[in-house]
C-alpha cells in the first residue's frame, strides 16, 4: 500500500482544505478589521478637532463658516429624540410582546401575523419611515419638530425593540410560568411580577439597542425633526440631531468645519460604543437575579 501522504489526490484535497481555510481566516479578519478600521479612522481624525467648547456650546453666528461654537444643540436634540422615541416604543412593544407570548397561543393567527408584521416593519428602510413620518405630519398639520421626529423614530424603533424583547421572552422557562399559575396568580400578575422580572436584562438590552438605532439614524429625521441652532425647549420646536449635524458640517467647503464634522462623528461613535459597553455590563449585573 502507498504512503497516503504521497498520494497525489490526498495531497490535492489537503491543499484545497488549506486554501479555503486561508480564505476563511482572511474574510473573518477583513470583517473584524473593517470595524476596527472604521472606529480607528473616525477617532483618529475626530479627536484632534474635539474640544470642550464643541460639546458644551451651541453654534454661534458664523459657526458653519468656521467661527466659534459647538454642537450642543445636536447632542441634546438627539438625546431628547432618542429617549422619547425609546420610551414610546417600549410602551407599545412591551404589552404587544407580552400578549404574543402569554395570552395568544403560539401558533395562533394573531401571533403569526403580528410576528410577520414585525419582520416586515423591521426590514423597512429608515428613509421610508422618514417619508411616512412626513405624510403623517402633513395629515395632522404638524411642522418639522421634536414631536414629529420623536414619533417617526419611535415607529422605526418599534420592530427592533419588539423583536429583541420577543427573543428573550421566548426563553422564559415554561415551568416558571406554571409555578406562578399554580399558586393562583392570574396571567397578568404572572406576566408583570414573574416574567418581566425574569426578562429585565433582555428588556434593558433591547431598549439600549433601540436607543442606539434612534440616536444614529439620519434618514428618518431629515424630513421630520428639522434642524436648528438652538436647544429645543418645547416639543413643537424643531430639533437638531447629531447625524444631521455631521452631514451638514461635511457639506461645507471649509476645512475647519469639516474637521468639526469628524469630531462630531467621533462623539456619535463614542456614544454608540458607550451604549454597547453599558448594555454588556447591565446584562452581567442583572443576570444574577435570574432563575435558570
Partner 1 sequence: MTVRLVKDYLARKSMSLLTILPSFLTVLILFGLFQKSLPILKLKSFVQLIFGTSWHPLKGEFGLFPFLMGTLWVTAVAIIIALPISLLTAIFLSEYAPKFIRELSKPIIDLLSGLPSVVFGVWGILAVVPFVGDILAPMFGTYSSGYNILSGGIVLAIMIFPTIIHVSLEVFASIPFALRETSLSLGATKWETVRHVVLRKGAQGVVAAGVLGLSRAFGETMAVLMVVGNVPAVPKSVFAPGYPLPALIANNYGEMMSVPLYDSALMLAALLLLVVVVAFNILARLILVKAEKRAE
Site for partner 1 in 47-76 (CB under 8 A): none
Question: Using CB under 8 A, which of 69, 149, 202, 212 touches partner 1?
Answer: 212
Question: Using CB under 8 A, which of 1, 31, 52, 171 touches partner 1?
Answer: 31
Closest approach of Cβ 233 to partner 1, in Å? Answer: 25
- Binding residues among 140-169 for partner 1 as defined by CB under 8 A: 155, 158-159, 162
Closest approach of Cβ 5 to partner 1, in Å? Answer: 14
Nearer to partner 1, 10 or 60 (CB): 10
| The three cell numbers locating residue 249 | 458640517
- Binding residues among 73-92 for partner 1 as defined by CB under 8 A: 92
The one segment of 32-40, 52-60, 67-75, 165-173 that binds partner 1 by CB under 8 A: 32-40
Quote the CA–CA distance of 197 and 4 in Å, as a whole number: 60
Q: Is 21 one of the binding residues for partner 1 (CB under 8 A)?
A: yes
DSSP string, 89-137: HHHHHHHHHHHHHHTS-TT-HHHHHHHHHHHHHHHS-HHHHHHHHHHHH
C-alpha to C-alpha distances, 217 to 12, 61, 93, 136, nearest whole angstrom: 50, 27, 20, 19
- Binding residues among 231-290 for partner 1 as defined by CB under 8 A: 242-243, 246-247, 250, 261-262, 265, 268-269, 272-273, 275-276, 280
Closest approach of Cβ 219 to partner 1, in Å? Answer: 4
Q: Is the Cα torsion angle 181, 186, 189, 190 positive or negative in sign? A: positive
Quote the CA–CA distance of 19 and 110 in Å, as a whole number: 49
Closest approach of Cβ 292 to partner 1, in Å? Answer: 19
Residues 223, 130 contacting (CB under 8 angstroms): yes
Question: Using CB under 8 A, which of 7, 27, 56, 197 touches partner 1?
Answer: 27
Closest approach of Cβ 82 to partner 1, in Å? Answer: 11
> In 3-state terms, what secondary structure has residue 220?
helix
Nearer to partner 1, 116 or 254 (CB): 116
H helical segments located in the chain: 8-46, 52-56, 72-102, 109-123, 126-140, 146-169, 174-182, 187-189, 196-216, 219-224, 242-250, 255-287
Size of the site for partner 1 (CB under 8 A): 89
Residues 172, 166 contacting (CB under 8 angstroms): no
- Binding residues among 99-138 for partner 1 as defined by CB under 8 A: 99-100, 103-104, 110, 113-114, 116-132, 134-136
Nearer to partner 1, 105 or 233 (CB): 105
| The three cell numbers locating residue 129 | 419611515
Amino acid at each position: 500500500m502507498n504512503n497516503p501522504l504521497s498520494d497525489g489526490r490526498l495531497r490535492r484535497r489537503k491543499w484545497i482544505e488549506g486554501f479555503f481555510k486561508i480564505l476563511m481566516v482572511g474574510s473573518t479578519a477583513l470583517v473584524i478589521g473593517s470595524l476596527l478600521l472604521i472606529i480607528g479612522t473616525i477617532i483618529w481624525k475626530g479627536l484632534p478637532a474635539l474640544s470642550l467648547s464643541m460639546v458644551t456650546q451651541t453654534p454661534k453666528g458664523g459657526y458653519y463658516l468656521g467661527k466659534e461654537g459647538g454642537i450642543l444643540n445636536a447632542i441634546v436634540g438627539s438625546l431628547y429624540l432618542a429617549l422619547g422615541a425609546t420610551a414610546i416604543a417600549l410602551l407599545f412593544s412591551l404589552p404587544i410582546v407580552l400578549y404574543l407570548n402569554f395570552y395568544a397561543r403560539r401558533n395562533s393567527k394573531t401571533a403569526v401575523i403580528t410576528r410577520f408584521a414585525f419582520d416586515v416593519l423591521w426590514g423597512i428602510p429608515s428613509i421610508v419611515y422618514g417619508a411616512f413620518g412626513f405624510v403623517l405630519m402633513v395629515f395632522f398639520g404638524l411642522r418639522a419638530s421634536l414631536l414629529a421626529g420623536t414619533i417617526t423614530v419611535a415607529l422605526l424603533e418599534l420592530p427592533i425593540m419588539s423583536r429583541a424583547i420577543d427573543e428573550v421572552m421566548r426563553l422564559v422557562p415554561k415551568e416558571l410560568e406554571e409555578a406562578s399559575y399554580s399558586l393562583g396568580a392570574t396571567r397578568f400578575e404572572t406576566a408583570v411580577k414573574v416574567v418581566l422580572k425574569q426578562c429585565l436584562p433582555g428588556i434593558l438590552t433591547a431598549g439600549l439597542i433601540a436607543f442606539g438605532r434612534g440616536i444614529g439614524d439620519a434618514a428618518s429625521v431629515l424630513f421630520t425633526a428639522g434642524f436648528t441652532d438652538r436647544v429645543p425647549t418645547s416639543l413643537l420646536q424643531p430639533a437638531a440631531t447629531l447625524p444631521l449635524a455631521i452631514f451638514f458640517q461635511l457639506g461645507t467647503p471649509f476645512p475647519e468645519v469639516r474637521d468639526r464634522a469628524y469630531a462630531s462623528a467621533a462623539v456619535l461613535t463614542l456614544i454608540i460604543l458607550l451604549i454597547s459597553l453599558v448594555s454588556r455590563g447591565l446584562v452581567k449585573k442583572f443576570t444574577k437575579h435570574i432563575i435558570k
